[in-house]
Each structure stands twice: as C-alpha cells, then as structure tokens.
Structure 1
Amino acid sequence: MNVAEYTRYDATGLAEEILARRVSPAEVLAAARAAADRVDPHLNALIETFPRPLEYSADGAFAGVPFLIKDLILHAAGVRNESGSRLLAGRYVAQADSELMTRFRRAGFATFGRTATPEFGFNATTEAVLKGPTRNPWNPGFSAGGSSGGAAAAVAAGIVPVAHANDGGGSIRIPASACGLVGLKPSRGRTPAGPDFGMPLHGLGIEFVVARTVRDCAGVLDAVEGPDCGAPFNIERPGLRYSNLIGTPPRRLRIALSTRFPGSAPTDPDCVAAVQKVGRTLEQLGHIVELATPDYHADSLSESNLTLWTSFLAASAMGIAGALGRPFDPDEVEACTRACIAHGMALKALDLERALAQMNDVSRAIGRFFGACDLLVTPVTRMPTVPLGYLDQNDDTLDARGWCNKVFDYCAFTSLFNLTGTPALVLPAGKSGDLPVGVQLAAPMGAEATLLQVAALLEQALPWGQTLPLIHASRG
C-alpha cells in the first residue's frame, strides 16, 4: 500500500482491508509514517512519533488502523504528557492509561504519536510557545484551529484517518471546521474521562476524536462510549449501534436555524452562507426548518466561562507543580495563561458557586429551547479560521477577562454546548476562499443518534471529500 492509496481510505475502510488481509497492519503503518514524513514538516502537527505503535488488540473493530493521541487530558502508560506547556515539558511520563486510552487500544487503534495542542488547551488555535504553530493544510498561513489543531491538521493532511481530540469550549469542532473535517462533541458523560477526571473543566470538557467521515465518528463512538468505573454520570445508552443507526433516516425533524447568538457580534457572510445552504438542504430532505435563536443570558455564559476556565487552570497549574515537587514558576507559562491562573487563584468558593448557578440557568434555557425543536443549526465560529498570530496566548497586554473575551468572541457558537453538556457535531459544509467553513448541528442531551443520522444524510447530499488540501500526503 503506497501513501496515495492509504490516504483514500477512512478508518472503517482501512479496517476492512486489514481484516480481509488485502493489506497488513505493518504496511498500513508504514504508509502512515511515510505520510507523516511527507507533510508534517510543513504543518508541525506532531510533537512525537513512537518507534513502534502502542500495544493494541488485534481483535478490535479498527485493528491496525494508525492513530494519534492529543497531548492533553488523555494519558497512555509510558508516554510523556506536556499539555503544550513549558511547565510540563519533558517532566511527566504517565504511569497508566486513562480509561479512554484503554478503549482505544481495545478498539485496535495502532497509536504511533502525539499531536500538538495550545497551552492547557485554552485557545481556539494551536500555537504553543513550547512547540510553535500548527499550520492549516488548506493554507499554511492560517490556523488549524484549537485546541485539537494538531489532530485536525494530521487527519486533514492524510497522516491518519481519525485522531483523538477533546473539547472544553469548541476544541473538537473549531479545528474540524478549520480543516474540513467531521467533529462530534458527545454529550457530557457519553465518553469516559476517568480515572484522572470525573468532570474535566467542571463538566465542560469531553473526549472523542476528529474524523473525515460520519461513519468513522459512529464507529469510534460505538467502540468507546459508556461510563467507566466510578463515573459521575451514566446517561442512557443507545438501543442500537450508531454504525447501524446512520443507515436509517431520522423521522421528520423540526430544525431551528440561527446565525447570531445573544451578545455576539455579527457573523461573517461566508459562515452565514454555509448555514443557509445546510438549511435549504434539510428542507429539501423533508424536514421543517425555521429561524429560531436560543434565549439565554449572554452575561451568564461569559461570566461562567471566565470563572470555570480560570479556576480549572489555576488548580491544574498548582497541581502539576505540586506533583512535580517544585514551586509553580509563572515564567514557564504563556502570558494569557499566567493572567488566567492569577485570576483563578483570586477566586472564592462563592464565585465558583455563582458560576455553577449561571451554568444551570443557561442549561435550563437551552433545555426549554430543545423542547420545541429537535436540532439547532449554527455557524461554528463567528468568522472563518483566522491567520496565525490572531489568537496569541502569549500576549501580555491582555488580562484574564480580555483573553476570555477574545477567544469566546471568535468561537461564539461552540462554548454554549460545553456549558449545557449537550452534543454538537460539525460538518464541512462551506468554503471561504481556499479555506473550509464548518456548520454546527446541536441536539438535546443524549441525542447523538439523531445528529449522526442527519450528518450521514448531509454527507450524501453535500459530499465534501472531492477536494484535497494544498498540503496533503497523496500529493507526493
């Protein structure tokens, strides 16, 4: 299998080829390594490749399919974790797998490297001082998104068909939009975060993957969903496998469409056009599409984001320093991270209680909204992906509030669904010049099946795989 042949397959297709013994896992991995050697010097998506893949089950659904893990939250035994920060650089090696890593191994993924992330994942781009910027395969002067930008760039450029990612404010969906991929943020509790975390980022964070196809999202969710031992949530499990459900059209749905959320600035016309195209397509597919915007207090969303993010960053930084047996050195983190840590350290217990109450208020409002519709279609970001340097986490002119405002102004449509814990999925439905523009589908809690069913219909009606990025492994 040469590199060009390898890049034509999604993860499901590669697994079928391996199972049929038309190609061996070793051949597939060799092609993945060759793809990485070919494109990563232009992207800076990978921060480490392993001399041999991590151990995996040969009986898994994706046995032998090359895979990459994001350098944040998830741990793999014997593998360094740096979280994009000089605070951790070269100082921590995980002693055990997190539960999700155990499930990736059980699924058969051949993990052979780590992908880049911004410092502690608190950015909508991937440009950590520690490793430098990850470049967008469609246009290397632009961001690949964040915080799963390394994962998204690697998948879009053909290094792997699917890669681990996580999402605390849009970090799966923003890079999926920027790089022309499918990105699902599952419901809170759908995928495991243990044993290191019960509710990462106070419940805002969730683990999953970025992928090129809807069927890969469905298949990976089948392989990893469900609570782990001691998890704080055990939400309703699907009655059928997601891989089977995507072959069945959903019932006629009532779908809301919104291109501007409360408190946000106007949305770029290219992002609006992509949403409108999806709305027209859904109408043609027989669904009811109406203009409707959730009604919630924008200040509650922004204030709770500020408190929840900064308190989590402060606790993380102090915890890391303590675990390493050394005092916290503020010079080892980027300027905006430092400002957020200082803000978090100054918070009181009542501040956190207030943030959790605001989180509840917003969640109840979105719950009422979904009582009147089945899906909500929105942009992903307020503008197409930004040039490198626009979201500079080392900008010492910004305080914590200024940094949060800048990040969440850009990703105006994603963080709402981290706060509510409800699922949301991004599809590459539009373009802005040479750059992809994603569209977000959001649903009530636990409704991943509906999201995937609708996404599968849109994948057929609006196929997006015909054009490849400028930087792609198949180009030689």
Structure 2
Amino acid sequence: MNDDATALAEAIASGRLTAAAAMEAAIAAGEARGPLGAIVFTAPALGRAAAERIDAMSADAAPRATMPFAGVPTLAKDLGGPFAGLPVAAGSRTRPRLDGAPDSELASRFRAAGLCPFGLTTSPEFGLSLASEPAAGPASRNPLAPGRSAGGSSGGAAAAVAAGIVAIAHATDAGGSIRVPAACCGLVGLKPGRGSVPGGPAYGNHVGGLASEFAVCRSVRDAATAFRAIAGGVRGPFPPPAFAPPDVDAPLRIGLLTETGADLPTDPKRSEAVDAAGRALERLGHRLVPLRYEAVAPMVLASGRIFAGIVAVNLTELAARLCLDLSLAENVTQAVAENGRAMSAAEIWALMREMILVGHDLWQIFEGIDILLTPMLASAPRPLGSFPHDHRDIDLHFRRMLAFAPLAPLANVSGFPALTLPFGEDRDGLPLPVQLLAPMGGEARLLALAAPLEAEGRWRHRHPVAGLTP
C-alpha cells in the first residue's frame, strides 16, 4: 500500500517530502479538482501554518514521535464537531459561516495525531441525504464516475480522498454517512460503535445516539491507525472504554447475509461480492453461517423508521437552539423539521425505547455469530440528482435512501460498529462494497478481518495522493 496517509506520513518522516510541500500539493490538487465539488471552504493559511509547525519539529522529537500522521494534510466535514478556524455551515443557507468555535475533542485528537486541516468538505443540508448536493452548493461528484453521486452525507470527504486531494478526511455517520460515501468511492469507511470516539463538547448530542464521528480512508491500515489515535473516552471522571484485543487467529463465525428477498432487492454483482468475501474469510479458517434476510428484516425496517424520527426531532431542536431561519432551508429540510415539531413527547420516548430494543435484538443475532457480513449498497452509486431536495415528501425521501443503503441505519440505531470496504469492481469499473458489523467494542476485530480482504487486491485506487509520486 503506497498511496495512503501512512505512506504520505512516511515520506514526510523520512525527509523525502516536507509537510509544507505536502500541504502545497493538497491545496493545489483541491483547486485543480474543484469541479468535483468536494471542498466547500478553504483556509490555506491555516493549513500552511500547521504544516510549518510540523516541519519545525525535529523528526525524533517526543511530540512528533507520537504523531502517526505528522504533516499529513486533511479536510474536516462541513457538519459535526468543529475544527477551530473552519466555520461550519452544515451545507445550509440558514447558518452563516461564522468563525470562533474552538476545537471539539475529536478535532484536537486529529491535530494531536499530526493531521493538518485546511478546509471543509461538502455535506448535504444538515446531513439529511445520501447524496452531497446541497442547494447552497457545490454538488459532490464521484471521482470514479463524475456523472454519479459521491454519496452522503460525507460525500465531499469521500470525493476528496478518492480523488487524492487528501489521503484521509474527517467524516460523520448517523445513518450510513461514512460508509455509504466510502462504498460509492472505493474507500474504507469505519463507523465506530456508540461512545468509542468522542464528539463533545459542542457536538456531544450525537443525534440522540445515532451519530459517530471518524474518517474516510484509503486503506485499512490508515483506519486502524486513526482509530487507535482518536478513540477513547472524553476527558472527565470516567475512564476510557476497554477494547479487547482482536482474536482473529481463532476461527470466527461469519454470518453471511446475501439472501435479501423481494423486500430488499440488491444488485446481483453486489451480492456476489459478499459471497466472495465470505469465501475469502472461509479460506482463512473462519466458519460461514448462512443467514436469511428474514432474520434481520424487522430490525432493518424499524431502524429506518427510528432514524427518520430521531433525525426530525434533532433538526427541530437544533433549529430552535440556533435560531435558524428555516424559510431559507431546502424544501425537504423544512418538511423534516415540521415533522419533528409535530411529534409528541410520548412518540419521541417510544422511538428511544424501540431504539434500545433494536440493539437488544441485534445482540440476539450475535449469540450465534461473531461478525455479520452484508451488502453495503443495493446498487451502483446513483446518478447526480437521484435524491432531490426540492419537494416536501419526506416519506419518499427516506424510502429512497433506505432502498439505496438498506442495511446502513441498523448499525446507527443499535450503536454497533460497522465497516465497509471495496471487494472488487463491476463492469463499469465501480466498486463492489461489502459491510462487516460487530458487537460493541469490536472495531479492532473488524479492522483485523478487513485487512486480509483488502490484501486480496480486488480494488485499486485510480487517483494517487497529492504529493506522492504515482
């Protein structure tokens, strides 16, 4: 693997490349690839200053020695915990892009790992879509097929990483928003389990427990390194959670979910990729446990409904707290907020109760398996405009999203960690992504299982990382 953030960090550490030169290459690549719509805001001076600080440190100095990505340029998402100097507008014209917010806990850990942010990536308005095409602009295009979506809501981040503008980028996931764009663009997308990665103080709500913050990456090793650097409890009276070391040498029970039935149509090529990944894990000594879709169908349907309701309530509260003028918002956003305002306390409480029960029911599935292997997307990345926001039919909007990524919200509602990676390509050269889910605390096991799947070499990045020689 010679085209990821780890390789770029190694080039900087060895002196083959300075952090300043890496930053200039990333800034130039962002400008050259502007038509992709990956970046919505840039602060080049901020990035250059961060890179200069890295270059000013001795390579063997104690602070730099603890930075696995020392000098690596990155981008934050225009949604989620703030990065100082990068004012978030959440893809909306209802929020002025005002600076002044301090780093979130996660942002401070990004910087402590040596990452140097210099801009913000495109997000749909308030993250309400699986395409990153806000009315405020720009529309994020897939670097592998510019007529198709890069996914959402971290579509700008995925487009930037797949295009090689940066090698790793901040992302958030409340209903598939890390995993769906990663799947669209041929990247590794880890959605950490609930509580594994801090998001406070300003983003401590986590959308009622649905959302996790992390990154989109070009390799499993980048995701593993970033998770080690970023995970753990926030500062305070409670100790960080204990993560058991992965035991993947012993045979694991891999629940193989490919039989989706008429209610969950999946493109045959994408189901075949899941079968192929299962066989690859079987060759490593793991045992396949076939699962019919009926085993998880009630949870899948409940997760879609719970996601839609909690997102609506969260948006309503956010708009009231920030005094947002929702008349400036997209039509779908206005309708979602109206739905949230109309919900009673009893209805909201019932959603939260059902959310807990979905997590319990999924735990029951894991009584018989250790890992669940599923399709990530039902089809190839959708054409631009497939998730329009100029209407008020929110049932249609959420149905479209669930049809595209039916198994995405399950991990958010249950709180379980999940990971997607490409495992082959279709006849159009687009990735065939698979998804792995684990019980709480299973991030390290997911990453350990994903590594040999990646090593099979069924997917190659099309665009080199800026600053690295192809």
Q: Taking structure 2 as the reference length, what is the TM-score of the superposition? A: 0.90
1:364, distance to aligned residue in structure 2 (A) = 0.7
Mapped partners of 1:456, 1:99: distance in 2: 28
CA 1:349–1:93: 2 relative to 1, 3 Å: same
SS of match in other structure, 1:259: strand
Contact 1:263/1:298 (8 A) holds in 2: no
1:133, distance to aligned residue in structure 2 (A) = 1.2
Aligned position for 1:47: 40
1:288 aligns with 2:287: yes
Among 450, 453, 460, the residue aligned to 2:445 = 450
1:182, distance to aligned residue in structure 2 (A) = 0.5
Identity %: 38
Mapped partners of 2:400, 2:146: distance in 1: 22
1:230, distance to aligned residue in structure 2 (A) = 4.9
Contact 1:12/1:62 (8 A) holds in 2: yes
CA 1:440–1:299: 2 relative to 1, 3 Å: closer
Structure 1: which 5+ residue stretches go unaligned? 1-6, 240-244, 322-327
CA 1:262–1:236: 2 relative to 1, 3 Å: farther
Among 350, 371, 376, the residue aligned to 2:372 = 376
Mapped partners of 2:3, 2:264: distance in 1: 40
SS of match in other structure, 2:153: coil
Among 39, 59, 69, the residue aligned to 1:62 = 69
Higher mean C-alpha deviation, range 195-204 or range 168-177: 195-204
CA 1:233–1:88: 2 relative to 1, 3 Å: farther
Higher mean C-alpha deviation, range 211-220 or range 256-265: 256-265
SS of match in other structure, 2:45: coil
Mapped partners of 2:83, 2:464: distance in 1: 32
Among 79, 90, 101, the residue aligned to 1:83 = 90
1:27 aligns with 2:21: yes
Higher mean C-alpha deviation, range 159-168 or range 189-198: 189-198
CA 1:69–1:181: 2 relative to 1, 3 Å: same
Among 135, 146, 149, the residue aligned to 2:141 = 135
1:282, distance to aligned residue in structure 2 (A) = 1.3
Q: Over residues 319-360 of structure 1, what are the superposed CA-to-partner deviations in whole Å (9 max), with x where a residue is unaligned?
A: 222xxxxxx433211111110000001111111110011111
* Aligned pairs (5 A) from 1:247-262: 249-259=248-258
Aligned position for 1:71: 78
1:406, distance to aligned residue in structure 2 (A) = 2.0
Contact 1:264/1:409 (8 A) holds in 2: no
Mapped partners of 2:232, 2:81: distance in 1: 16
Aligned position for 1:428: 422
CA 1:139–1:338: 2 relative to 1, 3 Å: same
CA 1:275–1:133: 2 relative to 1, 3 Å: same
* Aligned pairs (5 A) from 1:160-199: 160-199=166-205
CA 1:167–1:23: 2 relative to 1, 3 Å: same
1:127, distance to aligned residue in structure 2 (A) = 0.4
Aligned position for 2:272: 273
Q: Over residues 98-128 of structure 1, what are the superposed CA-to-partner deviations in whole Å (9 max), with x where a residue is unaligned?
A: 1001111111111111100000011111000
Mapped partners of 1:155, 1:139: distance in 2: 14
Mapped partners of 1:8, 1:300: distance in 2: 42
Mapped partners of 2:465, 2:101: distance in 1: 36
Higher mean C-alpha deviation, range 189-198 or range 46-55: 46-55
CA 1:233–1:166: 2 relative to 1, 3 Å: farther
Contact 2:259/2:291 (8 A) holds in 1: no
Mapped partners of 2:414, 2:175: distance in 1: 11
Aligned position for 1:4: none
Contact 2:193/2:440 (8 A) holds in 1: yes
1:403 aligns with 2:402: no
What amino acid does structure 1 have at the position aligned with 2:312? T
Mapped partners of 1:475, 1:394: distance in 2: 43
Mapped partners of 1:463, 1:147: distance in 2: 26
Mapped partners of 1:111, 1:405: distance in 2: 35
1:21, distance to aligned residue in structure 2 (A) = 1.8
Mapped partners of 2:441, 2:135: distance in 1: 37
Q: Over residues 226-266 of structure 1, what are the superposed CA-to-partner deviations in whole Å (9 max), with x where a residue is unaligned?
A: 01135999532355xxxxx7xx8542111011135699431
CA 1:77–1:458: 2 relative to 1, 3 Å: same
Mapped partners of 1:457, 1:443: distance in 2: 17
Among 163, 186, 189, the residue aligned to 1:157 = 163
SS of match in other structure, 2:322: helix
Higher mean C-alpha deviation, range 259-268 or range 249-258: 259-268
SS of match in other structure, 2:165: coil
1:160, distance to aligned residue in structure 2 (A) = 0.7
CA 1:48–1:299: 2 relative to 1, 3 Å: closer
What amino acid does structure 2 have at the position aligned with 1:123? S
Mapped partners of 1:454, 1:231: distance in 2: 34
CA 1:260–1:417: 2 relative to 1, 3 Å: farther
Contact 1:70/1:164 (8 A) holds in 2: yes
Higher mean C-alpha deviation, range 207-216 or range 302-311: 302-311
Q: Over residues 164-184 of structure 1, what are the superposed CA-to-partner deviations in whole Å (9 max), with x where a residue is unaligned?
A: 001000000000110000000
Contact 2:178/2:215 (8 A) holds in 1: yes
Mapped partners of 2:32, 2:118: distance in 1: 16
Higher mean C-alpha deviation, range 252-261 or range 199-208: 252-261
1:226 aligns with 2:219: no
1:83, distance to aligned residue in structure 2 (A) = 0.3
Aligned position for 2:354: 358
1:278, distance to aligned residue in structure 2 (A) = 0.8
Mapped partners of 1:47, 1:260: distance in 2: 40
CA 1:150–1:297: 2 relative to 1, 3 Å: closer
Contact 1:250/1:454 (8 A) holds in 2: no
* Aligned pairs (5 A) from 1:292-441: 292-293=291-292, 294-295=295-296, 296-321=298-323, 328-396=324-392, 398=393, 400-432=394-426, 433-441=428-436
Q: Taking structure 1 as the reference length, what is the TM-score of the superposition? A: 0.89
Mapped partners of 2:143, 2:261: distance in 1: 33
1:472, distance to aligned residue in structure 2 (A) = 9.3
Mapped partners of 1:75, 1:135: distance in 2: 24
Contact 1:262/1:298 (8 A) holds in 2: no
Mapped partners of 1:472, 1:269: distance in 2: 35
Contact 2:36/2:159 (8 A) holds in 1: yes
